Structure 1
Amino acid sequence: MDNERTQWAARMLALLEPLKSRLTPGGSGFALGATAAHYETATIPMEAFSRPLWALVPFWAGGGHDAAWEEIYRRGLVSGTTPGGPGYWGSCRDLDQKFVEMAAIAYGLLLTPDVLWDPLTDTERENLAKWLDNINHYECSHSNWQFFCILVNCALKKRGMPYNKERLELGLARIDSYYDTHGWYFDGKGGMKDYYNGFAIVFYSLLYAMTMQQDDPARCEKFRARACKFAQDFIYWFDENGAAVAYGRSQTYRFAQAAFFSLCAAAELPVFTPGIIKGIVTRHLDWWAAQPITDNGGVLTIGYAYPNLMMSENYNAPGSPYWCMKAFAFLMLPAAHPFWQTPAEPLPALDAVRPLPGAEMLAQRVNGMAVLYPAALRVKHPFPQMEEKYAKLAYCSRYAFSAARSQRTLEEAAPDSVLSFRYLGHIFVKAAPESWEMTENGTRAVWLPLPGVQVVTEIALCDGGHLRRHTVMSEIACEAFDAGFAVPDDCPGAAHSCTAAAARAEHPGGFCAVEDLTDCGTPLVLEPMPNTSLQYPRTVIPMVQYAIHPGTTVLETKVTFA
């Protein structure tokens, strides 16, 4: 049946096609690049090999067939798990990256044993099961990683192989201990709340509910109920144009942002109408299809809306971006399913302002855009650029945040959507607050940008943007810069200007303006270093410069955008 599922399957397969020519000699990896990650270089091709399964497995589960890919993965799984063979993935250690990649293999054993398990010989199955069992003998990170152990043991159990019931139950108990409220989990005790809910913890919990109903019906029902609650908040992270808000780490996973809603479609979880869910996922994939995210050979690059190593984490290797393939979970639905005949619908009516207590942030809708105002930042420095990824004053679906190249100059720091300070030739920005609170229409945070300076920042949402009030108590003289979003500046129709009271940057798709309400600042438009914004290679940042003197200084700024 040539219908919409066929078209989406073809788009998915086209994304994976360039990998076929990059198989490693042992047939159990893809060699995609020369950059490194914090884990062993030998694991990098294995990561690249496993991650396409996040799309191929639902494709097969929904009735798709591609003989070449099926042969590649049957041969690769055998080669990777045969001790002493040329493609053997090797033994494991505590916190091994291979545990992350085992989850995609478990996905396949749970949903498509006819493709990845049944054709293997008894010896090949035993080798694969023994290799997967490595995860039961080493420590997994106390975070979303607990689900890797859960899924592997579920897969072993379903395939009739020895599994570790104690580790399975321990993982489930740990995941449950991370739960907070409104469907949201911390990423480990005290961890952040970010996309690791949507494309990891809640995603995996829904997968568990889909595959373990007969074994664990009460927990499956709990996971489904939490996923329904989560969906009511998570929809506020999406723009009507299909984009999502770039917020937090792992942005190179790109359209994994919509993986949760794609799995909701596959699970037939009634979080919204099928048409609304379909609209979220398909518009999102269409938005990403318009971005230059592959190299000239068609391989996905590290970066966000364009190739950009500078914003990456230390765990991003050349194959890491293929986690995005989770967004194709909806291919589990067979071609005859009514979903594929259902028209995609626009987003439902959403509140102009909505507190998201489970996410510890406030959401705003402005001209169809999604804007998030995070209140809390719990983890200070476990990953690169935590300040940029978590601690800005606001995040927007049409103006992704900027990641600093250094803190030496404003141009290199690119301090968008934040109050920054310049002192002794260094730029200081907001990090983890000393305290925070969230109201129905704003946030309040107390934070220390540098020794001798304390700031109380109060944000109140208004039509078209928000008002900021910063009370700065300083023991030193320095300069402060209150900035709006980074706006594209290298396109026809882009322009920027300053008046005595405001700085403004505009482009054909919108604008951002920053207005001084105290009559004591100097508006300016900063031209930051190229490739600092995740979304646009060249940008400008409207801002207001203030002089800070010893004592207390109150700054009031209005930021509007469209």
Structure 2
Amino acid sequence: MTSSPALPFELPTEDWGLSPHTGYTRAHWEAAADGLLRAAWRWATPGGALLDLPGVPSRSGVRSDGLEGYARTFLAAAFRVAGAEGKDPQRWLDRYAQGLAVGTRTPGRDDAESWPLILDHHVQGQPMVESASVALGLRLTRPWLWDRLDADVQDRAEEWLRGAVRHTPAPNNWYLFPFTVAGFLESVGRGDAETARVRERALGLLESWYRGQGWYTDGDGNAFDHYNGWALHLYPALDEHLADGAAQPSPVARPSRAAQPSPYGPRLREHLESFSLLFDANGAPIHFGRSLTYRFAASAAVGLGAVTGHTPLAPGTSRRLLNGSLRYFLARGAAGREGLLSLGWHGPHEATLQRYSGPASPYWASKAFVCLLAPADHELWTATETEAPTESRDRVLSLPDAGLLIQTTGADGVARLHNHGSSHVRPHEGESAAAEDPHYSRQAYSTRTGPTAPANERDNHLSVEVSGARSARRRIHLLGAGHGDGWGWAASWHSPVFSSGPPMVPGLRVESVTVARGRYELRVHRVLGVPPNARVLQTGWAVGPDDPALHTAVHPLHGWTAQDTVRAPQGTAYASWTELPRLTAEPAETPAPLYAALTTLTAEPDPTPLRDAVTGVTATATTLEVRWSADGARTRISFEPLEVVHEAG
């Protein structure tokens, strides 16, 4: 065994023959699970019912946080033991069995061990989330844990779990938590009309949230993010996989949908076609959406696809993505000096967090260990590791159903996501600028950069400045997307909103188009209804000294009158402080309606200056055309009606 200097626990010797890109093997995953579990269990209560990890409590309170520590680490232990066919050299299941017995003895009681009750999401909701991990852990380890429990402990556990079945979830992926609880109860012969009802309800909602191309929105609206992989695909597809070998069926007849071909495996396969492009050659997943402190849980869908067979990826490619993601975070201090996963991205990073995060929240990363359900002789572990999809060649892929545009470059392995469809605004909500979420509102995200903090200059943002107040981008309305050979585009519009002064300017509207080609991004905006003496500003990628090889620039093509560089002193998840390029259109009595710029983010050495990337630009009030220097190709963008055309040179 060799010890990594960035880790407080040992990992096996790297195998660069089997895994020429990462050196990691299945044994590394087992060792990582054991190391993370040992660190967490040092903070267990005497009875083992709660794992009170150190840190600032979440808004749900210390007792809920302790349950979170138990439940989320249990999930890692369950994948670890189930994947080893019950072999449990660390005797993890003994600890979780004792904790289950103690925690369910007097639920809701104010003492050192009792689990909190599961109530409606707006009352005391977090335990409902954790109930799904408890139920899934019990289902995975049934022969070695559940079947060995005393009958009264089983009854108490069922009664506690039924709190999830009987109470109201949050209006998003939370409906899959009672679904998962009910799936476990049915698998052990404790199903009834109540469990059947919540399962049918969840699957019905899932159908309404499916948008196509393997992507779900997380609840009503258009919120597309990592919850696709670690929740919306994981729970139904894993449920089906486990049901193939389930013991006792539910005594309640299944609805007619069960007799039809299941869509969940094929949808997972289709999701991985695009999602696999959102991992950097260095292993990092795309830095986009909420709950990013779950880190390598982003690879859960990749592992599940390999385990179930519902994947377009070769086994060596799947392992490349899995290994790369795990190694990326462990090598950058995600586990900290004590072996505990911290709240953050690399190490601790407060700006990455949501208010619901607590000390044990990062342990949803346990979902990545689903890959251990593939036994040691599975081709996922025996095939030679191959390149990640982001390596070796450039790719551009549009997702018209979600309004996303993926751009990767083989020369540096960077993945970028241009957002023209995902916004964290529910249908019934207003568009308050105060509620702006940097992890959805920016025009673009990558695997090497994070969004700047709300108090700093916004990166990758088109803002209108009125009376000193700069606008935010909240609800995003998709206009279209498409791609061709080596290029792609996506377009949207939004109504700028302001945090001071009037919240909106009547008639003010921003229409935006992004065209991706190679390492270049052509960003074109039509800004309508701009009041006199207002400024328009465009920023680029935020990079800092922490990655000196990373280069970014913005080059004005049309409409802009000045450019400079500004600092974001609070930095990002990747850098302690950053700088970002900025373009400005100074106030005019009659502002120009069309603004265009060329942008890049690259780790290529000595990249060609942006000013040399295009040879000509022509524009009217509604149309812009550029000619590309490399091959003479032309890209034309029209706004009335919207049309994006790319013609070879």
Give the TM-score normalised by structure 2: 0.78
Which residue of the partner structure matches residue 494 of structure 1?
none
Map 1:529-544 onto structure 2 (within 5 A).
Answer: 529-530=569-570, 532-544=571-583
Change (3 A) 1:318 1:424: farther
For the Cα contact (< 8 Å) 1:305–1:536, is it kept in 2? no
Structure 2 counterpart of 1:76, from 99, 107, 117? 99
Structure 2 counterpart of 1:263, from 300, 304, 307? 304
State the alpha-carbon separation in 2 of the partners of residues 295 and 426 from structure 1: 40
Q: 1:352-372 CA distances to partner (integer Å, 9 max, x unpaired)?
A: 211112432111122322111
Q: CA RMSD in A?
A: 2.4
Which residue of the partner structure matches residue 312 of structure 1?
353
For the Cα contact (< 8 Å) 1:434–1:448, is it kept in 2? no
Q: 1:333-378 CA distances to partner (integer Å, 9 max, x unpaired)?
A: 2233343222111124776211112432111122322111121245
Q: What is the DSSP-based 3-state SS (H/G/I as helix, E as strand, rest coil) of the residue aligned with 2:558?
A: coil
Q: What is the DSSP-based 3-state SS (H/G/I as helix, E as strand, rest coil) of the residue aligned with 1:51?
A: helix
State the alpha-carbon separation in 1 of the partners of residues 465 and 523 from structure 2: 19
1:303 Cα deviation after fit: 1.4
Which residue of the partner structure matches residue 44 of structure 1?
65
Structure 2 counterpart of 1:18, from 2, 27, 39? 39
Map 1:325-404 onto structure 2 (within 5 A).
Answer: 325-348=366-389, 352-366=395-409, 367=411, 368-380=413-425, 386-404=436-454
1:326 Cα deviation after fit: 0.8
For the Cα contact (< 8 Å) 1:417–1:485, is it kept in 2? yes
Q: What is the DSSP-based 3-state SS (H/G/I as helix, E as strand, rest coil) of the residue aligned with 1:272?
A: coil
Map 1:24-423 onto structure 2 (within 5 A).
Answer: 24-63=45-84, 64-83=87-106, 86-95=112-121, 96-163=125-192, 164-213=195-244, 218=259, 221-348=262-389, 352-366=395-409, 367=411, 368-380=413-425, 386-404=436-454, 406=455, 413-423=456-466
For the Cα contact (< 8 Å) 1:486–1:539, is it kept in 2? yes
Q: What is the DSSP-based 3-state SS (H/G/I as helix, E as strand, rest coil) of the residue aligned with 2:56?
A: coil
Matching of residue 524 in structure 1 with residue 564 in structure 2: yes
367-376 vs 194-203, which moves further: 367-376
1:145 Cα deviation after fit: 1.2
Change (3 A) 1:13 1:424: farther
Change (3 A) 1:273 1:439: closer
State the alpha-carbon separation in 2 of the partners of residues 182 and 433 from structure 1: 19
Q: 1:252-303 CA distances to partner (integer Å, 9 max, x unpaired)?
A: 1111111110122222334221111111111111111222324443321111
Give the partner amino acid of 1:468.
R
Which residue of the partner structure matches residue 444 of structure 1?
491
1:391 Cα deviation after fit: 2.1
Q: 1:98-157 CA distances to partner (integer Å, 9 max, x unpaired)?
A: 111111111122221123312211111111111111112111123211111111111111
104-113 vs 66-75, which moves further: 66-75
For the Cα contact (< 8 Å) 2:173–2:218, is it kept in 1? yes
Structure 1: 5+ residue stretches without partners? 407-412, 492-506
1:438 Cα deviation after fit: 2.2
The structure with the largest alpha-carbon Rg is 2
State the alpha-carbon separation in 1 of the partners of residues 311 and 440 from structure 2: 31
State the alpha-carbon separation in 2 of the partners of residues 478 and 166 from structure 1: 55
212-221 vs 421-430, which moves further: 212-221
For the Cα contact (< 8 Å) 1:208–1:220, is it kept in 2? no
384-393 vs 27-36, which moves further: 384-393
392-401 vs 253-262, which moves further: 392-401
Change (3 A) 1:350 1:235: farther
For the Cα contact (< 8 Å) 2:553–2:600, is it kept in 1? yes
42-51 vs 552-561, which moves further: 552-561
State the alpha-carbon separation in 1 of the partners of residues 333 and 468 from structure 2: 36
Give the partner amino acid of 1:56.
A
1:433 Cα deviation after fit: 3.2
Q: What is the DSSP-based 3-state SS (H/G/I as helix, E as strand, rest coil) of the residue aligned with 1:298?
A: coil
Q: What is the DSSP-based 3-state SS (H/G/I as helix, E as strand, rest coil) of the residue aligned with 1:176?
A: helix
Which residue of the partner structure matches residue 587 of structure 2?
548
Structure 1 counterpart of 2:523, from 457, 468, 481? 468
1:171 Cα deviation after fit: 2.0
Map 1:485-524 onto structure 2 (within 5 A).
Answer: 485-490=541-546, 507-508=548-549, 510-518=550-558, 520-524=560-564
Q: 1:190-232 CA distances to partner (integer Å, 9 max, x unpaired)?
A: 2411111111011112101202237676567321111111111
Structure 2: 5+ residue stretches without partners? 1-11, 16-24, 498-503, 603-649
State the alpha-carbon separation in 1 of the partners of residues 596 and 545 from structure 2: 26
For the Cα contact (< 8 Å) 1:246–1:400, is it kept in 2? yes
Matching of residue 459 in structure 1 with residue 500 in structure 2: no
Give the partner amino acid of 2:119.
R
1:37 Cα deviation after fit: 2.7
Change (3 A) 1:219 1:192: farther
Identity of aligned residues (%): 26
1:538 Cα deviation after fit: 2.0
For the Cα contact (< 8 Å) 1:436–1:445, is it kept in 2? yes
For the Cα contact (< 8 Å) 2:561–2:583, is it kept in 1? yes
287-296 vs 301-310, which moves further: 287-296
Give the partner amino acid of 1:70.
L
Change (3 A) 1:169 1:82: same
Change (3 A) 1:463 1:338: closer
Q: What is the DSSP-based 3-state SS (H/G/I as helix, E as strand, rest coil) of the residue aligned with 2:496?
A: strand
The count of corresponding residues between Structure 1 and Structure 2 is: 537
State the alpha-carbon separation in 1 of the partners of residues 233 and 260 from structure 2: 13
State the alpha-carbon separation in 1 of the partners of residues 513 and 191 from structure 2: 56
Change (3 A) 1:270 1:191: closer
Q: What is the DSSP-based 3-state SS (H/G/I as helix, E as strand, rest coil) of the residue aligned with 2:153?
A: helix
State the alpha-carbon separation in 2 of the partners of residues 462 and 175 from structure 1: 34
Q: What is the DSSP-based 3-state SS (H/G/I as helix, E as strand, rest coil) of the residue aligned with 1:24?
A: coil
Give the TM-score normalised by structure 1: 0.89
State the alpha-carbon separation in 2 of the partners of residues 118 and 350 from structure 1: 51
Give the partner amino acid of 1:535.
Y
